[in-house]
Amino acid sequence: MSEAAGCHGGRETLEAAARAAGKSLVMDELTKNYPRGPHDQPQSMCPAFGSLRVGLRMRRTATILSGSACCVYGLTFTSHFYGARRTVGYVPFNSETLVTGKLFEDIRDAVTETARPEDYDAVVIINLCVPTASGVPLDLLPKQINGVRIIGIDVPGFGVPTHAEAKDVLAGAMLRYARGEAEAGPVARPRQMIDGERSVALIGELFPADPMGVGAMLQPMGLTVAPQTPAREWRDLYAALDCEVAAAVHPFYTASIREFRAAGRPVVGSGPVGHDGTAAWLDAIARATGTTAVQLDAAKARALPAIKAALAAAPISARITVSGYEGSELLVARLLSEAGAEVPYVGTACPRTEWSDADREWLEARGTHVQYRASLEQDMAAMREVKPDLALGTTPLVQKAKELGIPALYFTNMVSARPLFGAAGAGSMAGIVAAQTRGRERFSRMVSFFEGVGTPDGAGYGFRDKPVDPPGFRERQRKIQAAKAKAEESVGT
């Protein structure tokens, strides 16, 4: 396995190498959980960032990467950019340690040295692309060392399509481990656990105020909110698994949902977003938990009028396209649509699962095209086609939108920086979008003012005049390309 192989090394080659190196079971599991889409390589950041982030956000958990130095550099940089403030462990390798199996021994030594029970509950070790393709067998590591759990996962870019799904790889592995522990005997008591409390376990990384808002919404039904998945502390995993019902608010957590089901917990999809979404979600929770009609009515009477008022206070009159890779794109589109927006297109890099069916059906009934596993090209084509008043999307899409004079917002920042659910979500999300869509005319003026600046010939820094091609350069290139095309034609391709 070449050290140079990576994101651009060819998925088929890397996958074949991983299978030949004994990782067939891992690759089958990843393919089953995270079906692939139109693009065959990650179009956003390295997927492993999702797993790394989940590990770094957990208390008393050490996270170690095994992969090429350039991948580890990028992942570490991104982690600290997002304020990890935690050490990212790294087991380096070279061709020799990779080929001779010494890398596995180095990993085992690193894990053993790190597994200090006074500091950690768990040590996570993540195989990136090259060690996965080379078959470094993390499953042969001890399951625990000195009472510290060892969680080894393979998160290759050629097997996990998005960083969102990579969060599920680690969250699912931890839930499986914790479920095994709970089934085997008594486990540590979760903090703030109250005996006899019936709870709803929310699945997905949410804005911190959202679980509190959902908790208030559920209170008239005699329900509380369990610690979220991905968890922030090991013992929270037990409390989550002990829920009455799991709510797949982010619908792509396939491995985690499997663990909740294996623990005998029902699972509901969608989320309490907007007026209709909240009403339908509360109905689904009530059905799954056997809540009485009186309790359900009380919950609705508390939540729904406030949501209606918040939506009415920030009406949106604009055409908006939504694209992202967080997994909450359909929920955001529902909220915007309820606030009055026309949403002709929603693209999500995540796959279609049954947990977003209700949202998809609701949106499609209102004329929205829902694209799962959307590629950047599809998102851009939709934006050009429908010419929205506002595009919510990924960084490259926002850049393109701005070039075209279309107001645009970066989806991740917008969603992760404000609540989405209940009245708080309706007020803040609809409010910011309503403010942005009023700026379209300003954008058009900016585009005409800056016309040509920063575009090919005008790009760059430090030139006084327009750059001039080296004499004859373009003509030479044209001839080289023509000769190449002719040569290919003559041998046939």
Q: Which three-class secondary structure state does DSSP give residue 359?
A: helix
* Residue matched to tokens 């509950």: 121
Q: How far apart are CA 115 and CA 310, in angstroms?
A: 50
Three-class SS state of 410: strand
Nearer to ligand SF4, 14 or 240 (CB): 14
Distance CA 9, CA 12 (A): 9
Amino acid (1-letter code) at residue 248: A
C-alpha closest to that of 401 among 414, 387, 419: 387
Contact 407, 387 (CB under 8 A): no
Shortest approach of ligand SF4 to residue 42 CB, angstroms?
6
List residues binding ligand SF4 (CB under 6 A).
6-7, 42, 46, 48, 67-68, 71, 74, 128-129, 157
Q: Which is nearer to ligand SF4, 68 or 289 (CB)?
A: 68
Q: Which residue is nearest to ligand SF4, using beta carbons?
A: 157
Q: How far is the CB of 95 from ligand SF4 (least distance, A)?
A: 16
* Separation CA 136–CA 286 (nearest Å): 46
Minimum separation from the CB atom of position 58 to ligand SF4 (A): 21
Closest distance between ligand SF4 and the C-beta of residue 65, in Å? 9
CB nearer to ligand SF4: pick between 37 and 422: 37
Closest to ligand SF4 by CB, 124 vs 128, is: 128
Nearer to ligand SF4, 13 or 144 (CB): 13
CA distances from 250 to 26, 123, 258, 359 (A): 23, 26, 14, 11
| Closest to ligand SF4 by CB, 160 or 392 | 160
Among 135, 104, 100, smallest CA distance to 16 is for 135
- Least separation in angstroms between residue 394's CB and ligand SF4 is 17
Closer Cβ to ligand SF4, 7 or 447, answer by number: 7
Q: Smallest distance, Å, CB 165 to ligand SF4?
A: 13
Contact 220, 302 (CB under 8 A): yes
Type of residue at 82: Y
Give the whole-angstrom CA distance, residue 428 versus residue 458: 39
- Least separation in angstroms between CB 160 and ligand SF4: 9
Strands 390-393 and 369-371: unpaired
- Amino acid at site 20: A
